[in-house]
Structure 1
């Protein structure tokens, strides 16, 4: 892992992704850059995010983080994992490998997804989530979604 890698940010990203899915019905981020100082996630999104929505997003994420949810990892056979999560983003070279074991990360009963990254053991370790900014790039072609970029920081618990 890179020395810039931060398990606190990674767990926060999982909670952000699931909160975006629940609030707006969009998919998980299609691109992200996580490091200890600040991070960003990009979403396929149809419009700009309103400031009130951004404030509610931040509030809900902090509410989830404060629930002291355990963060667990487990290795599951591909077939079993595919019943729980979308495996569509696994690297192409792994397609067709039926014996493949998939690492699954669960954040309490809030989020579950395939993931290779390190995480905290409990959401209460993450600290406070702060949505620093959000910007929107309109779609470039017919039928495409725009790109919503969310930048965030954490104030870690001392």
Structure 2
């Protein structure tokens, strides 16, 4: 991993993805840029979100963070993963798939580093949201844990 890799932001990205898919049935982001100070996620969607919807997403993510959920990983076979997950971003030649589980809130294949518990993430704050050409972009930052 890069030396500036941010497990807190990465775990928050997973939680944002879960909240977005639950609310909008839009799937996980197709593009993400994770930085220490501010990050962004892009979703394929048919419209922008309202400020009220943005607050709902923010509250959903923060409620899960406050729940102090354990963040665990498990290695499953490629066959198991193909039955449960979208693996289009998975490299060729992989035998096993690492799955990150955030309590009962999110489960997703991932190779990245994560926190051990959501209590380490800090407050999730949506900085902005915008919509253009079928792409709903969300920018967010985190408070201190």
Question: The TM-score by the shorter chain falls in which range?
Answer: over 0.9
Q: Distance in 2 between matches of 1:36 and 1:156?
A: 12
Alignment of 1:1-150 (within 5 A): 1-91=1-91, 94=92, 97=93, 100-138=95-133, 146-150=134-138
Structure possessing the higher radius of gyration over alpha carbons:
1
Deviations 1:49-68 (A, max 9, x none): 11111111101110011111
Deviations 1:112-132 (A, max 9, x none): 111000000001110100000
Q: Root-mean-square deviation (CA), in Å?
A: 1.2
- Equivalent pairs, count: 145
Q: SS at the partner of 1:36?
A: coil
Unaligned runs of 5+ in 1: 139-145
Q: SS at the partner of 2:115?
A: coil
Q: Distance in 2 between matches of 1:43 and 1:81?
A: 22
Deviations 1:17-61 (A, max 9, x none): 000000001010000000111100000010111111111110111
TM (normalized to structure 2)?
Answer: 0.95
Q: SS at the partner of 1:21?
A: helix
Give the equivalent residue in structure 2 for 1:141: none
Unaligned runs of 5+ in 2: none
Q: CA deviation at 1:3?
A: 2.4
